[in-house]
Amino acid sequence: PAEQLRPAGTLEEVIAFLNEDARVEEPGSLFCYQNDAWGLLGGIVSRASGSGFEDYVGEHITGPLGLTRTTFDLSRVLADRNATTLYATDPAGNVIESPKWHDSSALAGAGFLRSTARDLTSYVRFLMKGDGERIGIDDALLQEMQSPLVWCGPGGSYGYGLTINEDHHGVTLISHGG
C-alpha cells in the first residue's frame, strides 16, 4: 500500500532497505529484477568513479553518443515545451492528467533518466552497431548486454538490463519494459 512506502532520499537508505527487506540468495542461484538493486548499482558507480551517477552517465554515455536531450534533470524536462503529459487513473478509474513525476537521485540508476524518441533511436542504433569504442568499452561488452544470461520465462531470457526473446516470430527481439 502507498501509505506504507518509504521515500529513498539517500543511497544509505536504499542500502538499509535492501539489507532489511530484500530477498538475498547466493549469486547465480536466483534471478529477480529489482529496481532498488539497479539504484544501488548507480551508487556503486558513483562511489567508484568519484563523481555523481548523473554526471558519470553524461560524461561517459549520453555525451559521447550525442544524446543531447537525455537527462536526469527533471527541471530541464519540465521546462521543455515538448515535454510529455503524464496520465494516471483516479480512484474511480477515470484517466486524468497526473502532476506526479517520480524523481530520486538516490535511485538514479533505477531509471530516472528521461529522453526523447530521437535520442532513444540514436541509442538503439548504437546498440545495434555494437560500437563500444564510442563510449570507451569493448564491443564484446555490448554484445554480452544483449545476450541471454538467465532464463526468465517462456521464450525469454535476460541480459544486462535487457530482455532477449530469441524467437519472436522468427527474429530476435531485444527489449526493456521501462
Q: Is the pTM of this model over 0.85?
A: no
Which strands sit side by side in the sheet containing 163-168, from one edge to the other?
150-153, 156-158, 163-168, 171-175
Residue 137's pLDDT band (cuts 50, 70, 90): very high
Cell 512506502 sits on residue: 5
* SS3 call for 97: strand
Tens-place pLDDT, residues 54-107 = 999 999 999 999 999 999 999 999 898 888 888 989 899 999 998 778 888 888
Q: What is the pLDDT of residue 92?
A: 94
Average pLDDT over residues 110-129: 92
Average pLDDT over residues 111-132: 92
Residue 65's Cβ-side half-sphere holds a number of Cα atoms within 13 Å equal to 27
pLDDT over 70 (residue 1): no
* Beta carbons of 22 and 34 less than 8 angstroms apart: yes
Radius of gyration of the chain (CA): 18
Q: What is the pLDDT of residue 5?
A: 66
